[in-house]
Structure 1
């Protein structure tokens, strides 16, 4: 479809503007401005908001100017500031912006990978250490996420889920939520990133049924054969430099009647099928170019999938590898596949 020149220019201008506004959203989230605005029941002045957040009024006023111009914060008849009540739930769904400052800082590293003479990629262990917490934080309401992931699984009795593996567990927020949701199960979080595992262990708290282990998904403990009733790979498979080796290990450690839950961003494998999908495909391809693709190209002979692998190619990969897809549904930005062994 032909786009008129003015519309084309406007599209690019809006995208550029959105990047700068996202920086302001990050400020609002990190400094508690959004938390405060969503808790208030009446409009406030910039001074009152600044006082509530222990911030300088002049900077808060400038930030509010951006928010008002962007239709994120509203004004009443007295030019006081508020977020409409029906809009407040949106702020529970913008956790992806936690990655934004780190994403910007890593852009030069990604540009080096683009160059023919540059390195092929880099792993999560080479990224800023704050990335581990940012990736956990972007999940938002993790208890709600766990319910969505488990919904197609719990056709089995909960009592049969005695051993659960969260593969690629990062700092363990999903692992802990699984342990909380299924207190009768032994839940294991596995990640190859030592920083992530150390953070996960430090955050374990009262989750007595949760255990963490530093290990590669392509080489899990030999005594885990047919141990797990449920294995979760949340936002992991497309990042792996060795997905085939990993899924062979998943097959080995899963019980014959066990279930694997695999969630990855829902982007179509053909670029043409993503035309106009700025909110998911446009954004996640950008993230992938800096984070996911370099990770999936970080070792010799790596798969190089990234988010651009796409839902269709990922589904074909799994079925060709001997997996039966029992349920397929979209959860947020992700396509969630519930799989079992093909017998």
Structure 2
């Protein structure tokens, strides 16, 4: 880590984090990944073998990953208001039905419940451990307007067609192994006047454009190598994206897939960019 500039070493033999890296590490709270990094590093090494798997799902990662990922958003209520602002600028009527797609342990879903007490909220994740954590977490009271469901984003229930006013994918899109099918499903279940919020890492698609960005080199790519990239390749059919997909290629994908990006703004940290999208007419 010293040789790559992630950790520095002074003349007295003391190790320390470079000042340039501290803002990104503090904002992203990435230190919470350290307890599982060793296990994940061993898993990803197998994926580099010719006879190894192309990736692995969140369900194949240590169960602690679900709990650790919930710490990525320091204050879900503040983050929710930030992604909600551009939605309310577009929305003409009330928000009555909400889909939190890739809900993880449910922290953002509970913030939605507090903010929209009269709405019907579906919180979906394909990871059974995540849904179990969301429904059995003793630190949170049960809420009546959320349904936590273990479902595949690429095959949502047929009865959900044209059902939702608002669909949220918070730090999810770049992790998906079937992002095309998933966004097709989002289009199907979204009402014609519905809105989609996609919050994802804000990295350049061209690696050269990220040179010198110590937050990306020291934080983003390292985490993506053992979590995001393997997840995006887990079905063996995709080329894989992870954080390296980048904002430019992501926006191009959304446009080509029939979405209109009405707003882009930083949410949560300077490394996170929120896309507000509607269906192209």
On whether the aligned pair clears a TM of 0.5, the verdict is yes
Structure 1 residues 302-311 or 124-133, which shifts more?
Answer: 302-311
The counterpart of 1:278, out of the listed 192, 196, 214, is: 214
**Number of residue equivalences:** 270
Post-superposition, which runs of at least 4 consecutive aligned residues in structure 1 deviate over 6 A? 69-72, 89-92
Aligned mates of 1:93, 1:140 — CA distance in 2: 9
Find the counterpart in structure 1 of residue 75 from structure 2.
141
- Where 2:222 maps in the other structure, the secondary structure is helix
Deviation at 1:11, TM superposition (A): 7.0
Contact 2:24 2:219 in 1 (8 A): no
- Cα separation, partners in 2 of 1:94 and 1:289, compared to 1, 3 Å: closer
Deviations 1:242-300 (A, max 9, x none): 00000000000000000000011111000111010111354111111111111111113
Structure-1-length-normalised TM-score: 0.73
Aligned mates of 1:278, 1:309 — CA distance in 2: 18
- Where 1:15 maps in the other structure, the secondary structure is coil
Aligned mates of 2:4, 2:276 — CA distance in 1: 40
Structure-2-length-normalised TM-score: 0.89
Pairing 1:1-343 to 2, within 5 Å after superposition:
12=3, 14-17=5-8, 93=27, 95-156=29-90, 160-203=94-137, 205-331=141-267, 332=269, 333-343=271-281
Structure 1 residues 255-264 or 176-185, which shifts more?
Answer: 176-185
Structure 2 gap ranges (5+): none
Contact 1:240 1:303 in 2 (8 A): no
Aligned mates of 2:124, 2:174 — CA distance in 1: 17
- Where 1:213 maps in the other structure, the secondary structure is strand
Contact 1:164 1:229 in 2 (8 A): yes
Aligned mates of 1:157, 1:242 — CA distance in 2: 29
Indicate the structure with greater helix content: 1
Structure number with greater CO (CA < 8 Å, separation at least 6) is 2
Structure 1 gap ranges (5+): 1-9, 19-65, 73-88
